[in-house]
Structure 1
Amino acid sequence: MTIQYQCRHCGTHIGTIDERNVNTEELGLSQLKPEEEDEMVQYDTQGNLQVNVICENCHDALDQNPDLHEQDTFIQ
């Protein structure tokens, strides 16, 4: 299983874990609430995961502009 981490705001590829024996519990994904998992984690047809997180640049932008939290997307 390959796990791809991508920024949910700007789409930047953050990283990849390419391990066949990765346990989602070890990654902390099992601690997500069902609605969080629906929003953050997608499986493709080969069983690989895409995890939507926030990159450092978007995190900084949100910290500096708290009103951006009200918008679904703020990167244009």
Structure 2
Amino acid sequence: MPIVYKCRHCNQEIGKLDQRMVDTSMLGLDQLSTEDKRDMISYEVNGNITIKSICESCEESLGSHPHYHELDYFIQ
């Protein structure tokens, strides 16, 4: 059950955890609200868990262009 972190904006893979057993509290997932969990975590048919986050490049773009926060996706 790999856990794959992907950027919510550009869909780039940020990182991957290949462990059979993972304590979600160690990942901080227990700190998310129900709505945030629904928006950020998806369970794939292949058994992977995908967590949407933000990569450094997109974070820099958001810092340089704050109005991008209004958009769901700013990279075409």
| Deviation of the 1:47 alpha carbon | 3.8
- Work out the number of aligned pairs and report it: 76
Structure with greater helix share of residues: 2
| Deviation of the 1:25 alpha carbon | 1.2
The superposition leaves residues 9-31 of structure 1 with CA deviations (integer Å, 9 ceiling, x where unpaired) of 00101110000011111100011
The correspondence of residues 7-22 of structure 1 with structure 2, limited to 5 A, is: 7-22=7-22
Counterpart in the other structure of 2:36: 36
Normalization by structure 2: what TM-score? 0.94
- Partners of 2:68 and 2:46 in 1: CA distance: 35
- Partners of 1:34 and 1:46 in 2: CA distance: 23
Unpaired runs of at least 5, structure 2 = none
1:58 and 2:58 are equivalent in the alignment = yes
Amino acid at match of 1:51: I
- Partners of 2:32 and 2:46 in 1: CA distance: 22
Normalization by structure 1: what TM-score? 0.94
